[in-house]
Each structure stands twice: as C-alpha cells, then as structure tokens.
Amino acid sequence: MNILRYSAPGRIYISGEHAAVYGKPALVCAIDKRLSVTFTLSKKTVYKDNIFPILEKSVIDFLQSKKVSFEKKEYAYSVESTIPIGRGLGSSAAYCACISAGLLELFTGKEWSKEEVNVCAYQMEKYFHKNSSGVDTSTSVMGGLIYYRKEFEFLKSISSLAIRIPKKIQEHLILIDTEKPIETSEEMIRSVGALFNKESNKTEMIFNKMEKVTKRIVVSFMKEDGAFFRDNIRVSQELLGQIGVVSSKTNKLLFELTDVGVGKMIGSGYILFCCGDSNTCKEIFTKKSILYTSFIPNYRGLVKG
C-alpha cells in the first residue's frame, strides 16, 4: 500500500441550524461537493501547516485509547476539494473524516468502519469548532440525511435517516451563492445566544416553531409532497429572520425572486432555493448574474479510492 486516498462530502443544514443549539432537532444533508486527501508512503513526513500534526495526534490518541497496536509510518499527503472553505458547508468535517480514515488505515494496516472513523473524526473536529456537536462529521462520514438532537451535552442523538430527498423535490432545488458574508457562523451563534438571554420566552417560541418545521420537512420527504416542502422552507426563512440571522442582502434577493420560488439561508452566504420551474430560475439567475449550482445530495458519504 504505497498510495491511499479517501474522500468525503460537505453538508448543508436543511432546517433547525440555530435551534439545535437549544435542544431542538436539525435536519442535515450531505451534498455532492467533496474533499479528498491522498497519502503516499515517504521517507519523512513533511507537514504543510501547523494544524496537521495536531490532527495526526488525535488519531494516535484514538488508537491508544482503543489499545490498538499501530506503527506510525512516514508519509506525504495532498488535499483536493470542491467544498468552499469557511462558507458553512462542512469543509472541516470532510477534512477530518478523510484524515481519520486515512491515518487509521496507514498506521494499522487495516480499513476501519465508518462508525469508528466517525468517532475519531469527531474528536478531531473539536480543534476547528470547540463546541462541535458531532453532526457535521457524522453527515460527512455517513452521507445522506441526518436527524440530530441534543438534549444535554451528555445526551445527543444523531440518526441516519433511511429516506432520500424525493426526485420530484430535488429537481427543483438550487444552491444560490450570495458570496461570503461579513459575519461568521460563530458570530451568528453568539448573536442568537444574546437574543435568547435577553428575550428567552420569545426566542423559545420561535425555536418551538423551528422544531415543527424541521419535522414537517421530514414528513414532506416521506410523502413526496413538494408543496408542503416549499411551505415549510418559506416558514423556516421567516423564523430565521425573527432571530436576526438573515442579512438585508439575502432578504432583498429572496423578495426579488418571490415570483419564481422560495428559499432559505443556509451556511455562510448560501441560499437553498426551491424553484417553481428550474429552467426559468436558471434563466433569471443568469440574467441577474446570480451565482448558482444544482443541489445534489450525496448518499455515499466517506469513500476510499
């Protein structure tokens, strides 16, 4: 084994992204934008940044905690990615998934299960996001739709749903790139926290409504009900506006596109848009110089090779 390669997908939050911090469910989906890491045996490991040795140590700590025999081999590595960095699409989670899977196999000589890779990747992800929930790495490793809920820090449920987004809904979905916003995801989370501390009753009511929307979107997938899905995407966006995380730029754009569909903010500077007619949407997006790409879910998750 001289060359070893793993790739993993990014992800978006379809619903519940901010409410999930306060014990409500979130629905997350892996997307067909991928990051890959290739490892090649070498005479000496050359780290390309200060982060990689820390991530490598996470793998070694994981193996030691499992009391697994291993040999730390020397290697070179390279990274390729179609996941935009720092845009809230899960690039760091995909990175952690690939490094975990690659180094676990490189150091032990065996391929590890997705469940075990996910545990290792979750510990690694905490370097990038101190309060990581684990849902990002789970989505990147497992792929598909993930339903997440945290009751307490010690009580979390991350469930891989045995359903797919129906084709009749997916074919109307487009990702709009509104370009990188001024505020980071972490800053938005702190902003929502400040609102919750100031107006806890009002904010809790909004979170309760977000929970209903998340559950209704799952139902819309199960029933293949496009109209029900669109209604709840619209409500989800309205609720995000009520907690103050939607920029005026996003509001203005969605208002301009009211006649052709509905959308909601996801990640940092992206909108999940549901078109009435995809061809009409694409014509208008091109005319208005709106950056967009088709929304394609990924159901494979982490893959080798």
CA-to-CA distance for 125 and 132, rounded, in angstroms? 7
In sequence order, which residues have a C-beta less than 8 Å from that of residue 144 and are 6 or more positions away? 29, 30, 160, 161, 164, 297, 298, 299, 301
- Strand, helix or coil for residue 190: helix
What b/e sequence results for 162-178 when a residue is b if at least 16 CB atoms lie within 10 Å of its CB, and e otherwise? eeebbeebbebbbbbeb
Q: Where are the domains of the chain?
A: 3-163+300-304, 167-294
The candidate with the shortest Cα–Cα distance to 48, out of 59, 34, 37, is: 37
Measured distance CA(24)–CA(210) in Å, rounded: 8
1 pLDDT higher than 70: no
Among 103, 105, 79, residue whose Cα is nearest residue 91: 79
Higher pLDDT: 188 or 262? It is 262
pTM: 0.91
What pLDDT score does 247 carry? 85
CATH architecture of structural domain 167-294: 2-Layer Sandwich (3.30)
Which fold is adopted by the domain 3-163+300-304?
Answer: Ribosomal Protein S5; domain 2 (3.30.230)
Q: What is the pLDDT of residues 37-88, one digit of tens each?
A: 999 999 999 899 899 999 999 999 999 999 999 999 999 999 999 999 888 8
Per-residue confidence band for 133, with pLDDT thresholds at 50, 70 and 90: confident
